[in-house]
Chains A and B, each alone.
Chain A
Amino acid sequence: MSELAPLYGLILAGGSSSRMQRDKASLEYLGQSQLDRSFELACRHVLPVFVSVRADQSGESARAHKPLIIDSIEGAGPIAGIRSAFARFGDVAWLVLACDLPFLTDAALAHLLQERDPAAVATAYRSAHDGLPEPLCAIWEPAAAALLAAAQAAGQTCPRKFLIRNRTKLVEPTDPRALDNINTPEEYAQALAALASAPRLEPMQVKVQYYALMREQAGRSDETIETRAPTPAALYLELRARHGFTLAREQLKVAVNSEFSDWTRLLQAGDAVVFIPPVAGG
Chain B
Amino acid sequence: MRFRFTPSPIDALAARRELLDPSAGGYASFEGWVRNHNEGLVVSRLEYEAFEALAVKEGDRIIEEALGRFPIKRALCVHRIGALAIGEIAVWVGVSSAHRGEAFDACRYIIDEVKHRVPIWKKEHYLNGDSGWVNCERCAAAPLRSREHGHDHTHDHDSIV
Q: Which residues of A are interface residues toward B (Cβ below 8 A)?
A: 4-7, 47, 209, 211-213, 215, 246-248, 250-253, 255, 258-260, 274, 276-282
Contact = CB atoms under 8 A, between A and B. Distances in A.
B121 A277 contact: yes
B32 A282 contact: yes
Contacts of A209: 51
Contact of B144 (A5, A212, A251, A259): A251
Contact of A250 (B53, B120, B147): B147
Nearest to A278: B135
Given A251-B144, A277-B136, A258 B119 contact: no
Given A211-B119, A250-B148, A282-B120, 8 more contacts: A211-B121, A248-B144, A258-B57, A277-B135, A280-B157, A281-B79, A282-B91, A282-B160
A6 B146 contact: yes
A213 B51 CA distance: 13
Interface stretch (B10-18, B21-29, B109-117): B109-117
Interface in B105-145: 111, 114-123, 133-137, 139-140, 144
Contacts of B118: 279, 281
A218 B139 CA distance: 18
A5 B137 CA distance: 26
A258 B53 contact: yes
Contacts of A276: 51, 119
A260 B91 CA distance: 23
A250 B136 CA distance: 12
Interface string B58-93: 100000000000000000000100000000001100
